[in-house]
A and B are shown apart, each in its own frame.
Chain A
């Protein structure tokens, strides 16, 4: 039994090292200068450390990428949640046949891989004169997030007793009253969960910015990182610093609200 526990501890520690070693390597490399990265040993903090590459990446436009990412993430969260909440409310109310059909249609969307539609999506965005704009990213990413957001929301708010709604309507309440008094309070916790879940997906999405944008001034972080790599192929410390800066907001979020983030990550499966 004791040997078993020791074995478990050792194996778990091996996995911990596998998880942490690359991250540690990246952090250390980001504090090198271009020269000391090539000469100093890559695993020990000896041979001179500097934060100068962090300045380099800001000078090269990381701030712009960061701002673009913040803009599209905030906009997508707002748009997705507002639209999904409205749809989920009607689906849960089951007041007409249309809502059931709408739900089934959205469920199909869950299984469509985004890669299967990027070619026509690019052509459509181009036709709408939205190519190379943040608006293109906001619209496409929000649309992609709608099905899963509606599904999760519906599963959270569907257990409202019909009698309660009936009583409210008899007392002279309107659909709007039902929404404000019943749906909204019930939905608030799931809105928090979903904003983290959808936000993470938008923040990290790579393929849509790759296909729908081109210029540096609308590049978001994941795409911007690869632009850095193109420009500074030999300046690995700068690329590592950029990657770390791009993840900093998420680490901060994680430290402040770890439980909530964990729950959001498993949101699809929770219900």
Chain B
């Protein structure tokens, strides 16, 4: 009996423990050391943490992170909800549209970043070309080089990449709502909008919770697109916390300080996930499902 447990559990736990849990603990320990990655690490007490508290770049990156997270949620949630309801409908053309809507999911983040970089190029990109042929001057911008625009462009590209996934979630959520609820409400004289507010939205509350959690935690750790498209620039305008950490470690060789940023990132990620789960009753959904099954 116990032998079977040993055989079954050991491989998965070893892999997970060695390559995920151990580094997690190591990040915490390293945050109390000074280390350039080569020599011997030196005990630094709370020095790295004090540095973090006074670091204007870290403060900026926290603000940028908060902005990206909040904007991403505000852009993606309504659009994904609307598109999810649309694709859950039964007209034939909706299924065709839905098949095309998922295409961005197949592209890698690196591919998406490179595609948009080409498209947004102020001299030879697709938008610049459109601006010439349609005489729309505002389309020719230095999209990624303008400190007032870059962050919003990044949020838009992230939305382009992730709305398809959340659309899929809302589509599945809508399809699980029992039709009788709509029939009953319609008999009671509810209009289309009332059906949306009184039936659809309340019934989708768990989907909204799931989608929002994934969205917020995902956007928090967002790295690839920013690394490739702006590398945090111009200035520090798109330097999210994860990028700040990456550069502290692998470009400035401050592994101790980078570990502080890693711990902050981890605590924020886990903390926000737990908070959202508590607030939105995600946990109660799980037990409900268990009861039903």
Does B71 touch A at the CB level, under 8 Å?
no
* Chain B neighbourhood of A123, CB < 8 A: 26, 37, 255
Q: Mark A18-38, 1 if CB is under 8 A from B, else 0.
A: 111111011001000000011
A114 close to B221 (CB less than 8 A): yes
- How many angstroms between the C-alpha atoms of A143 and B15 in the bound complex? 5
Does B177 touch A at the CB level, under 8 Å?
no
Instruction: Say whether, besides A106-B16, A116-B24, A206 and B105 are in contact (CB < 8 Å).
Output: no
Does A98 touch B at the CB level, under 8 Å?
yes
- How many angstroms between the C-alpha atoms of A113 and B82 in the bound complex? 29
B124 close to A86 (CB less than 8 A): no
Which residues 4-48 in A have Cβ within 8 Å of B in the complex?
4, 8-9, 11-13, 15-16, 18-23, 25-26, 29, 37-38, 41-43
Nearest to A143 among chain B residues (CB) is B19
* Chain A neighbourhood of B83, CB < 8 A: 12, 15
* Chain A neighbourhood of B103, CB < 8 A: 19-20, 23
Does B74 touch A at the CB level, under 8 Å?
no
B111 close to A222 (CB less than 8 A): yes
Q: From residue B285, how far is it (CB to closest CB) to chain A in Å? A: 10
Instruction: Say whether, besides A119-B249, A226-B114, A95 and B125 are in contact (CB < 8 Å).
Output: no
- How many angstroms between the C-alpha atoms of A18 and B159 in the bound complex? 11
Instruction: Say whether, besides A22-B119, A117-B24, A112 and B5 are in contact (CB < 8 Å).
Output: no
B5 close to A115 (CB less than 8 A): no
B97 close to A96 (CB less than 8 A): no
**Contacting B15 at CB < 8 Å: which of A26, A139, A204?**
A139
Does B8 touch A at the CB level, under 8 Å?
yes
Nearest to A5 among chain B residues (CB) is B91
Q: Which listed segment binds A: B55-63, B147-155, B165-173, B179-187?
A: B165-173
A42 close to B4 (CB less than 8 A): no
Which residues 248-263 in B have Cβ within 8 Å of A in the complex?
249-250, 255, 258-259, 262-263
The number of residues on chain B lying at the interface, defined by a beta carbon within 8 Å of a beta carbon of chain A, is 91
Q: From residue B254, how far is it (CB to closest CB) to chain A in Å? A: 10
**Contacting B101 at CB < 8 Å: which of A16, A25, A204?**
A16
Instruction: Say whether, besides A22-B116, A112-B20, A124-B19, A84 and B12 are in contact (CB < 8 Å).
Output: yes
Which residues 198-244 in A have Cβ within 8 Å of B in the complex?
203-204, 206-207, 210-211, 221-223, 225-226, 229, 236, 239-240, 243
A240 close to B221 (CB less than 8 A): no
Q: Mark A129-161, 1 if CB is under 8 A from B, else 0.
A: 000000000011011101100100000000100
A175 close to B4 (CB less than 8 A): yes
* Chain A neighbourhood of B9, CB < 8 A: 86-87, 90-91, 98-99, 102
- How many angstroms between the C-alpha atoms of A26 and B104 in the bound complex? 13
Q: From residue A89, how far is it (CB to closest CB) to chain B in Å? A: 5
* Chain A neighbourhood of B136, CB < 8 A: none
B13 close to A113 (CB less than 8 A): no
A: contact size bracket: 35 or more
B259 close to A119 (CB less than 8 A): yes
* Chain B neighbourhood of A229, CB < 8 A: 114, 117, 228
- How many angstroms between the C-alpha atoms of A18 and B273 in the bound complex? 31
B289 close to A271 (CB less than 8 A): yes
- How many angstroms between the C-alpha atoms of A124 and B1 in the bound complex? 34
Task: Pull 11 A–B residue pairs with CB atoms less than 8 Å apart, ordered by A.
Answer: A26-B115, A102-B9, A102-B13, A109-B16, A113-B221, A123-B37, A146-B15, A204-B110, A229-B114, A229-B117, A265-B105
- How many angstroms between the C-alpha atoms of A113 and B16 in the bound complex? 14
Secondary structure of the A contact surface, majority rule: helix
B5 close to A90 (CB less than 8 A): yes
* Chain B neighbourhood of A15, CB < 8 A: 79, 83, 101
- How many angstroms between the C-alpha atoms of A23 and B111 in the bound complex? 11
* Chain A neighbourhood of B24, CB < 8 A: 112, 116-117, 120
- How many angstroms between the C-alpha atoms of A203 and B110 in the bound complex? 11
Nearest to B99 among chain A residues (CB) is A258
Nearest to A249 among chain B residues (CB) is B106
A247 close to B108 (CB less than 8 A): yes
* Chain A neighbourhood of B20, CB < 8 A: 109, 112, 117, 143-144, 146-147
* Chain B neighbourhood of A12, CB < 8 A: 83, 86, 94, 97
A269 close to B16 (CB less than 8 A): no
Q: From residue A210, how far is it (CB to closest CB) to chain B in Å? A: 8
* Chain A neighbourhood of B221, CB < 8 A: 113-116
B224 close to A175 (CB less than 8 A): no
Q: From residue A31, how far is it (CB to closest CB) to chain B in Å? A: 14
- How many angstroms between the C-alpha atoms of A187 and B273 in the bound complex? 29
* Chain B neighbourhood of A23, CB < 8 A: 103, 115
